Amino acid sequence: MTELVTGTEEPTAADPAAAAQGAEPNVAKVSQWADIRARFFANKLAVVGLGILTVLILVAIFAPLLAPHDPLKQDLTATLQSPGGAHLLGTDSLGRDQLSRLIYGSRIAVIVGVTSILVAAGLGIIFGALAGYFGRITDSIIMRVADVFFAFPLLIGAIVIILLMGRGVLPVVLSLGIFSWATYARLVRSQILSVREMDYVHAAAALGAGKARIIRKHVLPNSLTAVLVYATSNVGIAIVAEASLSYLGVGVSPEVAEWGNMIASGKDFMGVKDFMWTYPSIAIVVTCLGFILLGNGLRDALDPKLR
């Protein structure tokens, strides 16, 4: 009986301390992420946005399996057919299947929208971090350069770069990214101006951490929540800008299955064959709505002031 009692004795004083040191941070971390996840999924509109974007990404990935026809194949004997039959969304003026082009157009939308925002956010984070942390002359130079980019309307600046580089997906991505970074830089700078004065940043500097390490390990991770929310919401704006460039004839090549090209080819039949421009327009609106709802959901879940 004595051995039995001894075997079930409570841990020594050292054991709880060790357990507390090893387990409490993990518990706190798990609890924090669980709280964020619970708050996000409690937001019904955010879940709707996530659902829309999930469907969009799946359609883009499995486009060859979902498209009933070749989006580039022309059939001059079946031009301008109304929706129904073998062509559920009709055909365009060259006899190309509208549904197939709509499905393949989701690929361009996802690629251009996401990658252009990554380019803009990447440049903005780098320059915003340098301006916010070092301040003084570095801040002044970077912010004055940002003001120059603010002076250019997005589409006009993008058109200039595309005219220099030529049409295509890569020039569109680079042009939209280059003329969008200034907003992210200013956003990151404003966040870092407050974060750099926190006690844990001064403590890291007192312990001998270099400036690059402080920015990478302490300042940036605590300044990127606002950038994440803003970037998510602005993917839709990038998609609209890309479609606008294609509509104006300076985006991707006109034969490419892309929503802006579809609207451009349908504008001449407005009031007669409205399905040619209606469906791609609806696709753009729904996609933008999905990103906006997702961004708002992330803001509500991540912002501690809203908890």
Helix axes 14-42, 44-61, angle to 10 degrees: 80
Q: What pLDDT does 18 receive?
A: 43
pLDDT at 30: 57
- At 210, list the tokens: 């270099």
Q: How far apart are CA 31 and CA 240, in angstroms?
A: 38
Q: Which regions in the chain score pLDDT beneath 70?
A: 1-30, 32, 195-202, 204-205, 207-223, 303-307
Please state the domain extents for the chain.
45-306
**What pLDDT score was predicted for residue 2?**
44
C-beta separation of 265 from 216 below 8 A: no
- What pLDDT sits at residue 166? 87
- For 156-175, give the secondary structure using H, E and C: HHHHHHHHHHCCCHHHHHHH
Q: How far apart are CA 177 and CA 287, in angstroms?
A: 19
- pTM metric for this prediction: 0.81
Say which CATH architecture domain 45-306 belongs to: Orthogonal Bundle (1.10)
Q: So what's the pLDDT on residue 38?
A: 87
Cβ(138)–Cβ(130) below 8 Å: yes
